[in-house]
Amino acid sequence: MKRPLRLGVLGSGKGSNFRAIVEKIVDGQLDAEVRIVISDVDNSGILKVARDFKIPGLYVCPGRFRTRLEPEIEENIVRLLQEAQVELVILAGFMRIVKQPLLSAFPRRIINIHPSLLPKFPGLEAWKQALAAGERVTGCTVHYVEAAVDAGEILGAKTVPILLGDTPESLHARIQQSEHVLVPAVIAEIAERFHRRA
């Protein structure tokens, strides 16, 4: 009998993508199980969502750097994920660059959600970059994480039209709606491949 794919989720924000994943699991549409949620923000929404669904959630102090974790802290996160027997790590609005401890421990087993059609507009606030560039279409991408930022193999993407009169807020909200569909779908595909190999 096949068992659910074991997920670990890292996030910094309100946790809307995480909620979308868990709701698909609860509805029986995604054969996965979230084993642990880790946040670098102690009062983040993602930890509240974890509590709502009775999923173990932990705050990990990020250390003194603004855009990355200190190596010993990242090693601690690796230990927590391994203790939870995580098979796939999901960066769901995690606002720190993942470095070698995590990349080595989970090769091609970390995925990220990015709010643009990569390779266009990597980095922060990609929806604002798309608006400023005068694009007519943008979207969201799920990709494997590697050392270069927003550069790993693309696993799936959804397009989102940029409408006349769009603000950064209205565009971002529509991109997030597409993310909530795309992310569980990509995880489901990974789970299928995992089950075929098992």
Q: Check residue 96 and report its DSSP letter.
A: S
114 is catalytic: yes
Tokens found for residue 121: 């507009």
From residue 129, how far is each of 55, 122, 136, 176, 192 by CA, in Å?
35, 9, 12, 16, 35
- The CATH label, of 3.30.70.520, 3.40.50.2000, 3.40.50.170, 3.20.20.70, for the domain at 5-197 is 3.40.50.170
For residue 182, the model assigns a pLDDT of 98
Identify the active-site residue in 114, 143, 172, 180. 114
Q: Which among 157, 181, 171 has a CA at the least distance from the CA of 20? A: 181
Q: Which amino acid is at 15?
A: G
For residue 198, the model assigns a pLDDT of 59
For residue 1, the model assigns a pLDDT of 53
Quote the CA–CA distance of 56 and 2 in Å, as a whole number.
23
Tokens found for residue 3: 């068992």
52-59 long-range Cβ contacts below 8 angstroms, 24+ apart: 53/22, 53/26, 55/22, 56/84
For residue 64, the model assigns a pLDDT of 87
Each domain of the chain, given as residue ranges in start order, spans 5-197
Quote the CA–CA distance of 22 and 55 in Å, as a whole number.
10
101 phi and psi angles, rounded to 5 deg: -55, -45
pTM: 0.95
Per-residue pLDDT of the chain (198 residues), as tens digits, is 578 999 999 999 999 999 999 999 999 999 999 999 999 999 999 999 999 999 999 999 988 888 888 899 999 999 999 999 999 999 999 999 999 899 999 999 999 999 999 999 999 999 999 999 999 999 999 999 999 889 999 999 999 999 999 999 999 999 999 999 999 999 999 999 887 775
Tokens found for residue 85: 């027997």
